[in-house]
Structures are given as C-alpha cells and as structure tokens.
Structure 1
Amino acid sequence: MRIRLYLVLLLIGLVSLPENGQAQQIARIDSLPATGLLIRTGWRWHSGDNPAWAKPDFDDSRWDSSKPFQSITSVPAFEKSPLGWFRLTFALDSAVAQQTLSLHLNQVGASEIYLDGTLFRRLGTVGASYDQQQAYTPKTWERYLLPSLSAGKHVLAVRLSQHRPPWYVPKRFYLTGPIFLARLVPTSGLIEEIASHLYVSTIANYIVVGVFLLLSVIHFLYYAYRRQRTNLIFAVAMLLGTYSLTLTDVLAVESNTELADWVSFCAGMVVMFFISLLLASYYAYLKQPFGWWFWSLTTALVVSRICVDYLGPELGLNLLNSLLLILMILEGIRVSRLAVRSRRANAQLLLSTILIMLAILLVGALISYWLSSSLPQYSPYISNVINLLFFMALPVGFAILLARDHAQTNQKLEERLAEIEQLSAEKESILKEQNEKLERQVAERTAKLTQSLAELHDTQEQLIQREKMASLGELTAGIAHEIQNPLNFVNNFADVSVELVAELKEEAEKGTQRDSELEAELLTDLEQNLTKISQHGSRAAGIVRSMLDHTRTSAGQSEPVDLNALVDEFLRLAYHGIRAQDKHGSTGPPEHFNAQLVTQYDDSLGTVTVVPQDIGRVLLNLFNNAFHAVRERAAKEPAGYTPTVSVSTSRSGNTVVIDVRDNGFGVPEGIREKIFQPFFTTKPTGQGTGLGLSLSYDIITKGHRGTLSLESTGSTGTTFRIRLPVN
C-alpha cells in the first residue's frame, strides 16, 4: 500500500515545479480534493535547533528550499545534519477554510509540529543523537484534526530529527521513507473512508492467510500419511506465506521505526524463502534435480534482499531484487516446459498456473494505473482484489494440481485393489482346499501326538513310582536299622520276665516256707520289665506308623505339626538308611560310614500347619542327597575329612526357614539352574531317577506356597533352603 502511495505522490510531483530562490514563498491552497492535497511546495529547511524558529513572524527567506516528502538519500544536506527545522507558509482560500481539516502525516524520525507558533503535535521524541531520539512512524489510518483555521496565511513549523540507525539495524524505512510528509485532507467522510479501506484490506489479507494456513495444514497431514517430499516442501512454503502476510499486517500498526525495520526485514526474508520454496515444490513434483542454478538463484535472492534492507535502493538493488524474482518465475516456466515436452502428467496444468499468475500481474497493473487516474475512489478495492488473486493463483493452482495427483493415485489404488480382490477370490478356493488338507494332516498328527503324550505320561508315572519306591527302599533300610534296637530290648526283657515268672512259681510252691520279700521283689522286677517292653514296643509301633505314613498316598490334608520333631525324625531315618545301605554293600567292618550330625532347632518355632507326609518326603530327599554328597567326598578324601550334615530351623516373621547343609563337593555353577528340572541328576546311571528334587520343588512351591532354593558355595558344600508360610 505504501508503494502505491509513493507512486501517486511521484505522479503529483511530476506536475509541480521545484521552488528555488531566496524570496519567501507562500503555498496557496485554493481547493481541496476529496482524497486530500499533498503539500509539496513552499518548504524551507535549516539545520540546528532554535525555539524562535517556531514563531510565525520569523523570517525564513534565507533558509534553503527543500522537499521533505522525499527520502533522506534525496536530501544529502539533511543526512549530514539530521537535526533541524522545516517551515511552511501557506494561505487558505475562504472556501477551504470553511471546511473541517485534518493532517495526514508520515515520517521516519521524530518531530514536534507547531501551527502558527503553537505546539500542535509531538510525534516521538526529538534528540541530538540516535540514542536520545525516539522515532515514531504514524500508522496508515492516523489523522490529526486541525483547529479551526481562518482564511489567509498560516505557518507550519516542524522541529525534526532523523538520525542514522546503527550498522546492525536494517535501514529500509530510514533510507526510503519520507523525511516528513504532510497531506491536508477534509475531515468529512474521513472515518467512513478509513474504515472501508481497512475493512477491504483486512478481509483480503484474512482470506489469503486463511487459505495459506489451510493448505499448509492439509499438506503437512498428507506428508505425515504418504511421506512425499513435495507435500512437505509445499506445506512449509504455505506456512512461510502465512507468516509473511502476518508480518506485513504488523507493519500497519507498528509505530516504532526500528522495530518496524526489523519486522520488514523478517517479512522480506520470509517472502524470499516463500518464493524459493514454491519453485522447489515445482522441482520436487517434476522430479527435477536441485542443481547449481536453483541454489544460485536462491542465494542471490536472499543476499539482494539483505542488501536492500541495509543499503537502500541505491546501486539498483531494488531492480536487482525484482530481476531475480522474475528469473525465479521464468525458471518455473522453463522447468514446466521441460516437463511438458517430456509428456509428464499434469505438466500442462502446472505451466498454465504460472501463465495465469503472470496474466493477473500484467492486467492488474494496467487496471490499477487506469483507476488511479480515472476512478481513484475505487482503486484501493480493485488493488486488494488483484493482490488477492495474484498471491493465491500459484499456491492454489499448485494445491489443486497436488490434489488431482492424489486423486489419480487413489484411482490407481482402487483399480489395483479391485485386481487384488479378484485374485483373492481365485486364491480363496485354492486356500480352502489346502486348509482342508492341512486340517486332515493336523488331525492325524494330533492323534499321533496324543498317543505319544499318553505314552509319555505313563512313562513319567512309572518313573515317579520308581522314585517313590527308591525313596521307600532307603526309608525301609533306615527303619529296619532303627527298629532293631527296640525289638532287642523287647526280646531281652521278655526273656528276663519269663525267668522271673519261673522263680515266682517256685516260691509259690514252697507253701509256708515262701519268702514274701523275694516275691515282692520279683513282682517289682517283672512290672519294670513289662513297662520297658511297653515303651520299646510303642517306639517300634511309632516307627512303623511313620513308615506307613510315608508310603501312604497323601490326601493333601494339612494339620498342625511339630516341625522340629518331624525334621529330627527324618534326619535320623535318612542317616540310618544310608548307613544300612553302606553296610549292606560293604565288606568292611560294621559301622563303616559315619557322619557328624549337627542340629540347631528354634524352640520357639511351635507347630506349623503342613501336610506331614509331603514335607517328610521333601526332607528325606534333601537328607539323602546330603548324605550321598558327604559319603562321596569321604570316599575320595579319607584323610582329614569329617562328613558333616547340618540342619537348622528358624522363624522370620510369617515364614519358617529350614536349612539343610552338607560339606560335600558342592554343585557346579553350570548345572545349578537345572537342579530342579525333572529327570536331571548328578548321580551315576542307575542310582537316581532325577525326580526327587523336582517332586520336592513342586511339593514346596505348589502344595505349600513356599520356596525351595539352592545355595552352593563350591568346594565347601551345599545348602538347600526351604521357606514355608506360617499361615
């Protein structure tokens, strides 16, 4: 919009003659157009700062003539001395003075405006340096209402500073904006004009921003779904276009000149990348390589734009930047023509889109030029419509092209899907026959597997029974040795009792010569013998009952048990059983195998609810393994080695712990993980089934919800630990 304003001002300036000479001049305003009058003639300028220069009676005839509506590059004297005063003496015709007047002002620096010696408006803060100056650029719709002015002469004095920004700040507005522009406009109808202008420009910008943002989101989603590089590049380009238009709208409301320069710089960079990415979208869609020419054009476009913002329009930089933009468009045409010649799909539509955009540009320029002179009141509306069509032609056309391409791809996919469905129908019957055949084969193999599993189950039952019988044999040997002692006592005391009865009969036959004291002594001895016989008979009966309980099939009934007594009982049975086996298979003297038994029972353990038969089997297996381990080491290391089997009970919270230790060779680390697996044994062939520890593990973990673990310390022995919950 500012560019079009400058073009209008330039056309008006062509019909005005510059004022030279030293005589004080008066700008006469005899009429006022509806669009306002730019005050171009009669301006005087002088560097320096003097409050007296604001007075209306001050003689400024010796000041230099100037054109403050030009940029600072056109007034080198002001560029050298950026703090000074402008004065304008103007005369109002009576017809003009009767109207309500306003000033439309524009500047880049800061100013204090005096009307007939009275401060009328302060725009920013005038300073002697850039740091002291606070620049202010009036917004495009700002108008300043003048007080009632009489017909005749008036003086407008402007105290103004416009210092050059630091090197790192862009200087586009500083180098191209007017030093000070004053346009006299009628106030009547001004609000409607500004509102209408803002409404039209805002609607146009919102439409473009909305379309660009919508296209960006759609093609980002396309990229997320299809992973096509063209969609990603086009989505980023549309996002940059949205950002550039947003920054351009920010410029219309930004009054801080330095910040406006930065916003303009960012907007310019975004526009350059937007145009470059549009061309890159063409390259990606047409599968053209990004050669040196594309990168050279992009680099030159960006660099030229940076130079324009920092160096201004000097040295033809604006022309160079425009030329590079034209080359970008021509490159798009060239690539499209190559695609048309190669008969690529949709290439003709792509070329037509670019040509339509160029036609809109040329026709729109001619229409704008004609309206600016013939119907200026309609010029802003038509210009906004042309801008809308120009900015949307290429992106929307390319978006339609991509949508058409996706539609063609979907159509091909649907055709391919129909072919696949047809092939699937043909293969379905084949698969059905094969499935029936496979089902028959699976049924046959399942029957064979079922038979094999049944045989395997029978074999496992036989092995388990064998393990039980082996355990029973070891238990029987221990019981036989253990029951021998009470039976010997029973026999001995029975023989002695028979002799006592015989002596008692002899005394009874003596009649009056009976010794009553001897009879009483014999009866006492007989009573004691019978008591001993009863005790040892009960002991033998208990051993037999324990044997029957061990061999009886467990019903799984839990009952409170004195765990210490149960552990000690099976420790003794296992020990005597291993000794009986050793004596039976040895030619040496009696009591060939001996081991040291170490017990440590927790007296506070109390009764524990378990299945005593099952726990007995577990203990017997662990004790037998321990005695086998120490006997094996004793056979290999007879000197200096004492076979020792230890057992301890303890309670930790709601858990009872039973530890069974031996000082044998221990379990090698490589087979510790297999020790509880079924049929795994470290004993020689024929001496173990490999089910003892497996059954024990199942009894503890599944039957009693406890744990059975192995803790081996290598050559110093092995520890099995049982943990049983109290409840």
Structure 2
Amino acid sequence: MTPYPTYRTFWLVYWLRLHVLGIALTAGLLMNASLSGYAQVHISADSLQADGFPMRTGWRWHPGDNMAWAAPSFDDSRWDTIRPGRNILYLDRFRAESIGWFRLAFELDSARTQPMLAATIGQVGASEIYIDGVLWQRLGQVGTTYEQQEAYTPTDQQVFLLPQLARGPHLLAVRLSQQQPPWYMPKIQYFERSVFRINLFPAQSVMDGVIKQLYIQTPGNYLLIGIFLMLSVIHFMYYAYRRKRVNLIFGLTLLFGALSVTLIESLELIRNSNIREWVVLGQALSVSIFMFMLLITYYQYLGQPTSWFLRIIAFLLIVSRLIPFIFESSNLVGLLSIVSVIGLFADGIRVSIDAIRSHKTNAQFMLISILAMILILILGAFISWWLSGEYVAYAGYAIEITNLLFFLTLPFSFAIILAREHAQTNRNLEDRLAEVEQLSAEKEGILTQQNETLERQVKERTAELSQSLTDLRETQQQLIQREKMASLGELTAGIAHEIQNPLNFVNNFADVSGELIQELKEEREKEPRDEELESEILADLEQNLGKISHHGGRASSIVRAMLDHSRVSTGQREPTDINALTDEYLRLSYHGLRAKEKNFNANLITQFEPGIGTVTVVAQDIGRVLLNLFNNAFYAVQERQRTAPAGYQPRITVSTRLLEKVVEIRIGDNGTGIPAAIQQKVFQPFFTTKPTGQGTGLGLSLSYDIITKGHGGEFMIETTSEEGTTFLIRLPVSQKFK
C-alpha cells in the first residue's frame, strides 16, 4: 500500500537496506536537483490508482513560523524547493532550523463526480496540516524546543479522510517541527523515517488495503508469538522435570523471540514518538538477543564452551543495534550489522562441522537447518523482488511467509532435537525399569528369607530390650529417690542452721532466767529484803521472757516455711513476689551449704529491679527450680575454689529485670563452667557433670520442664569452660499483678 517499509518487516529487511544506501543517496541528490522546475502537481481523480499517489515532488519550504503562510493566496515562489519525504539526514537546512512550513499546490482534474479521498501520513515530529487555508489535521503539538514539542507518529494503518474537494487547484500547507531528542533518548526514527510524507488514495481502496495488510501480516506475527510462547512453556516444564540447562536456555531464547514480535505488533498501537523510539530499541535488542541465544543453545546442547569468536559476534551484534539509536547511521554501522549476522551463521556452521567430525548426535540435522535458513532468506528475497515488479498484490504474502519460515526453522529444529533426546531418555528409562523389575523378582525370594530371619532376631532383641527397660525403670526410680533424699538432706541442713540460732538464744535466756529466779528466792529469805534488787531481777526476768518469746516465734516461722516447702504442689498459680522468692531461696541454699561446710564463704551479689511487682506463677515449683540452680552454682564455685590459685573469691550474681513481655531472672557464677561438648546434654534426664553418687541428673531436666512446659517460659544457659555459667529464666507476664 505504501512504498516505505513498515516496522513489521523492518527487522528482516533493515540490513538489506544498508546495501542500497549509497545508491539511494546518489539518486536522491539527482532527483533533488531536478525539482526546481516543479510549481504544481496535477492529480486526476479518474486515474488515481488503488495503490495511491505519493505526493513527493513540488513542495516548497521556508524556515520560521507564520500563520499567514497557510493561506492559498500567499506567494511562495521564493521559497526553497524540497522533498520532505526524505529523512532528516538529507535535509541539512531543515535539520538546522527544525521548524518551518511546507507548501504544495496541487490540482484535481476529474470529468466525473469527485470521489472521496483518503490519505496516509508519515512523520516523526508534530504538525498542523491545512487544506486551502483551513486546518485539516493536528498531529501532536508543534514546538520550538524538544520540551515544548509533543511528537506524534501516525501508524501505517492509520487512515485520514480528506474533506470533499472540488475540481480545480488546491493548496496543502504543513506547519511542522521535528526537534532532535536529547542524548539519552533513542533516535532511530528521528534519523531514519521521513520528515513528512503523504499519499493520496481513493477512500475505498485504502480501507481495502488496510484490511488486506491486517490479514497478511497480523496472523503471521500472532502465529510466531503463539508458537514461541508454547515452546517456551514446554521447555520450562522440561527444565523443571529434567533440570537440564539447555531446556532453560532454549525457553529463555523463545521468550525473547516472542517479545521481539510482540513489540513489532505494539508499534501499530503507539503514536507517541518517544515511546515508539524505546519500543523500537527494545525490539532491536530483543531480536539480537534471540538470534544470539539460539547459537548459545546449540553450544549448550553440544556441551562446548563459548569461544572468543562468539564473544566478538555478541559484541558486534549489540553495538550495531545500539549505535543507530544514539548517533547518525553510517555505512560502518551497517557493515557491522551485516558482519555480526553473517558471523552468527558462520559460527553455527563451524560448530556443526566440528560436531559432525566428533560424531555428535543430530549435528548433521542442525547443519541442514542452518543452511535451510540461509536458503529461505535468499529465495524469499528473490521472490519478493520479482513479485514486487510483476504481481505487487502478492509481494506482501511472500515477505510474511519468508519471515515465518526463517524465524521458525531453527527453533523448530532445536525443539525436534530436544524432543528426540527426551524420547530416547524415556526409552532408556523403560529399559532400566524392566531390568529393575527382573532384579526385584530375583531378590524377592532373598528378601522373604531375610525378613523371616529379621523377625526372629527382632523377637529376641525385643525380649532383651524389655528386660533392659525394666532394669532401666528400676534404676530411674532409685535415682529419683536418691535425688529426693539428697534434696531433703540439703533442705534439712539449711533449716537446721536457720533454727539453731533462735534455739541458742532461747536456751541461753532460759538458763539466765533460771539463775535469776534462784537469786530472787535467796533474796526473799534475807532479812531485811532488798526490794530494789528484787525489782531489778523481776525486770530482767521479764526482758528474758520477751527474748525467749521472740526467738521462739522465729523458730516457729522457720518450721512453717519448711512445712510449706515440703507440701506437695497444688499447681495453683498465685501472684508471687519474684524478687522476694528469689532472695529467699538464695539464702536458704547458701545457709544449707554453710551448715555442711563451715569454712565456705561466697560473695552474694543481688540486683533486683524494684518495679517488677508480682507475677502469677506456681511458687513452690519456681522455688524448686531456683533452689536447684543456686545449689549447682554454689557447687561450681566450691569445686573451682579447691583448684584455683590463691586470691580466688567465689561469687554468685543474681539479677531480675522486667522486659516488654517477660520477667527475666539471671543466676550467674564464676565457677568451673560447662565444656562446650556437653552443653547440649545438660537438660537431658539423668545426665550430670557431678561425680558418681553426687548427682542424679534430674535437677536441670525437671527445672526445664517446670519453666517451659509448666509456665510457658524460656530456660537457657550461657557458659564458658573455666570462666563460669549463667542460667537465664524468662517467665511471661501476661497475667502480671501490681
């Protein structure tokens, strides 16, 4: 429909156009020199062809911006003659000005009723188009700078209906700006597309042409997209199942192929020039990556490392695509593009020949596929050239069929090869499965015999294990009883030490009181009696009785505390003062140890946070845990004191603090510590670091259960061998009372 190649076929014929660039430049200069004689274009509506009338010649141009230049009466005879259908590289003056007016005088000559006319327009910048001084179309926003200009690029399928024009002369005036994009924007359309072109058609024929173009090109492109996406999904599934890298690379290759065709189709929907520049850049890069990754897939299939020649081809392929989007096109860039494409085919042929010499599977098939692609390209170009001269209506079909065959040959070849390989793998698996079934049948008898032997051995071992389990349970009961007796002894020693002090006071004051009573009796028998002395003795007796009562009450409270501790836990949670509970059991454990070791002394450091208040816990259970930890701490510092050099001072540090959701209790010592090799075992039942007969290994295990299972808290240990141990208890405060 239009003599200019559309972007649908641009990615196939772009490098072919580079060969004729020099010829086109020469012909353009000669034609430009012959335009000075044209003053008016004559168009006969009766003879207007269905393929349109390209309005290329007869244009005049002047830089600047004056709305009076749209009037048909304006004299433009002194304006420059120009061909706006060429790209901006050949219009130096317009490129320097980038804004101006184009005028074309044409005459419609018709012997019959004037038919409705339509036009297709091509441009990169922005324009206002006037017919006989009346604004007909505004395409974008004309501006003197790139920022002010809003570029608009009509698509090849966009049709503009002209107003009903009478027979006779008419004037087409175009106010147009084409500002060069900044350095960071792609510029392929700015450099390559026509500054302004317009083709006139009979309205009916142009609509038929658009529909024909859609039927020819769109199904082919959609078919390519569908095939690429389908094969891509299949090979991604193969990769997920087989975990072979070649399937992943081939799937990504097909995705880039689908992306490149999708971007071509999207160009028909995009009229903003800036967005089109980026889309064209993305399409050029994606098709380059697609072609390069096809070769990478072949390398991966053959198991060959990438060569230096392939890296050079990749560099040239990307550079030849990027340079035209930033700088002006040149023959060198076109040559790089042709060399990179030829290099891809040459390297594919070289790898195939090497694979054939190495007797690689399917190498001959791949070589035939590559040669078939080259043959399709050559034959398709020749057929399209021949049809464009003899049968123009069929040239589009030839181009689309060539595109379809060219870009499907190699992907289909890879898909067939990988499918055949997968089928061969399945056949090998079936053969191995048959062998496995045969071996299974042979081993079934052996397994039956072994099962009978194993059942007999299991019965014997079960009997042995049952006896061992019985012995173990008895041993556990003995160890638990020993632990209970040991805990009872320690508790008794501590309590005896606490009761001893008040009992000594009671006995001493009772003896003194007895002596005072005897002295009082002797004084009463004397004559005369000393009443003052008797009063003093009675006062002393009264004071002694008060002391006896006080210390007796103290002994009674200790007994009550002992009974409370020995009472079986009810499991009832009660608001408990954690600081007081911790301090009580610290003192109880310390005095219990001193009752057995008169010479033992330790530095007790307490850091209780006063704002904790009370926490709902089972006080008896928490007390047992604290008592066990304090006993272990005193044992650790006592053991280290026996071997430590002079100057070692046993130290026990106890602290509490209130965190966001928990109450934390830290119990630390500077004792022997626990070696790293056994730190993970200390909470196991019946594991102990104490010598035989001194511990059952149940204390920390029961403590861990009370804290974690009974109270939903945390029980952790921080220890370093020969430096000390810190036990960390964290209890939740969700039911905290003040």
- Please say whether Structure 1 and Structure 2 have the same fold, judged by a TM-score greater than 0.5: yes
Contact 1:49 1:83 in 2 (8 A): yes
Shift of 1:675: 11
- For structure 2, the residue ranges without an aligned partner over 5 or more in a row are 488-554, 571-588, 602-613, 637-670, 675-680, 716-738
Please tell me whether residue 391 in structure 1 is matched to residue 412 in structure 2: no
Corresponding residue for residue 475 of structure 1: none
Shift of 1:277: 1.1
Shift of 1:14: 7.5
Q: Return closer, same or farther for 1:19/1:152 CA change in 2, 3 Å cut-off.
A: farther
Shift of 1:610: 8.3
**Which of the residues 3, 6, 24 maps onto 1:2?**
6
Corresponding residue for residue 388 of structure 2: 372
Please tell me whether residue 150 in structure 1 is matched to residue 166 in structure 2: yes
**Which of the residues 189, 193, 196 maps onto 1:180?**
196
Q: Return closer, same or farther for 1:126/1:676 CA change in 2, 3 Å cut-off.
A: closer
1:412-423 to structure 2, matched below 5 A, reads: 412-423=428-439
1:574-613 to structure 2, matched below 5 A, reads: 599=558, 601=560
**Which of the residues 613, 620, 628 maps onto 1:657?**
620
Contact 1:244 1:268 in 2 (8 A): yes
> Which letter does structure 2 place at the counterpart of 1:657?
Q
Q: Return closer, same or farther for 1:630/1:99 CA change in 2, 3 Å cut-off.
A: closer
**Which of the residues 37, 40, 50 maps onto 1:26?**
40
- Secondary structure (helix, strand or coil) at the match of 1:311 reads coil
Shift of 1:275: 1.3
Contact 1:304 1:317 in 2 (8 A): yes
Contact 1:24 1:61 in 2 (8 A): no
- Secondary structure (helix, strand or coil) at the match of 1:329 reads helix
Corresponding residue for residue 229 of structure 2: 213
- Secondary structure (helix, strand or coil) at the match of 1:188 reads helix
Q: Return closer, same or farther for 1:460/1:143 CA change in 2, 3 Å cut-off.
A: closer
1:347-358 to structure 2, matched below 5 A, reads: 347-358=363-374
Corresponding residue for residue 597 of structure 2: 633
**Which of the residues 28, 50, 57 maps onto 2:73?**
57
Q: Return closer, same or farther for 1:419/1:146 CA change in 2, 3 Å cut-off.
A: same
Corresponding residue for residue 333 of structure 1: 349
- Secondary structure (helix, strand or coil) at the match of 1:217 reads helix
Shift of 1:363: 2.2
Q: Return closer, same or farther for 1:691/1:123 CA change in 2, 3 Å cut-off.
A: closer
Q: Return closer, same or farther for 1:293/1:343 CA change in 2, 3 Å cut-off.
A: same
Shift of 1:330: 2.0
Q: Return closer, same or farther for 1:313/1:457 CA change in 2, 3 Å cut-off.
A: closer
Find the aligned partners of 2:684 and 2:191 in 1 and give their Cα distance: 91
Find the aligned partners of 1:81 and 1:205 in 2 and give their Cα distance: 40
Contact 1:106 1:180 in 2 (8 A): yes
- Secondary structure (helix, strand or coil) at the match of 2:296 reads helix
Corresponding residue for residue 442 of structure 2: 426
Contact 1:22 1:61 in 2 (8 A): no
Shift of 1:294: 0.8
Find the aligned partners of 2:687 and 2:242 in 1 and give their Cα distance: 58
- Secondary structure (helix, strand or coil) at the match of 1:298 reads helix
Find the aligned partners of 2:166 and 2:415 in 1 and give their Cα distance: 60
> Which letter does structure 1 place at the counterpart of 2:558?
T
Find the aligned partners of 1:407 and 1:314 in 2 and give their Cα distance: 49
**Which of the residues 62, 74, 95 maps onto 2:90?**
74
Find the aligned partners of 2:682 and 2:327 in 1 and give their Cα distance: 84
Please tell me whether residue 89 in structure 1 is matched to residue 105 in structure 2: yes
TM-score for the superposition, normalised by structure 2: 0.65
Corresponding residue for residue 278 of structure 1: 294
Residues 156-201 of structure 1, C-alpha deviation per residue, up to 9 Å, x if partnerless? 2222222222222211111111111111100024334323422443
Contact 2:688 2:697 in 1 (8 A): no
Q: Return closer, same or farther for 1:20/1:56 CA change in 2, 3 Å cut-off.
A: farther
Corresponding residue for residue 123 of structure 1: 139
1:85-484 to structure 2, matched below 5 A, reads: 85-95=101-111, 98-451=114-467
- Secondary structure (helix, strand or coil) at the match of 1:418 reads helix
- Secondary structure (helix, strand or coil) at the match of 1:657 reads helix
Find the aligned partners of 1:289 and 1:466 in 2 and give their Cα distance: 73
Find the aligned partners of 2:462 and 2:133 in 1 and give their Cα distance: 114
- Secondary structure (helix, strand or coil) at the match of 1:601 reads helix
**Residue-pair matches, total:** 563
TM-score for the superposition, normalised by structure 1: 0.66
Shift of 1:603: 13
Please identify the structure whose Cα radius of gyration is greater.
1
RMSD: 5.0
Shift of 1:302: 0.6
Contact 1:49 1:84 in 2 (8 A): yes
Shift of 1:89: 2.0
Contact 1:209 1:242 in 2 (8 A): yes
> Which letter does structure 2 place at the counterpart of 1:148?
Q
Residues 270-325 of structure 1, C-alpha deviation per residue, up to 9 Å, x if partnerless? 22112111111111111121121111110111111111222233234224313311
Shift of 1:654: 8.0
> Which letter does structure 1 place at the counterpart of 2:620?
V
Which moves more between the two structures, 349-358 or 294-303? Answer: 349-358
- Secondary structure (helix, strand or coil) at the match of 2:597 reads helix
Find the aligned partners of 1:41 and 1:464 in 2 and give their Cα distance: 113
> Which letter does structure 2 place at the counterpart of 1:297?
I
Find the aligned partners of 2:170 and 2:83 in 1 and give their Cα distance: 19
> Which letter does structure 1 place at the counterpart of 2:155?
K
Find the aligned partners of 1:468 and 1:158 in 2 and give their Cα distance: 108
Find the aligned partners of 2:213 and 2:82 in 1 and give their Cα distance: 32
- Secondary structure (helix, strand or coil) at the match of 1:252 reads helix
Q: Return closer, same or farther for 1:449/1:111 CA change in 2, 3 Å cut-off.
A: closer
Which moves more between the two structures, 438-447 or 144-153? Answer: 438-447
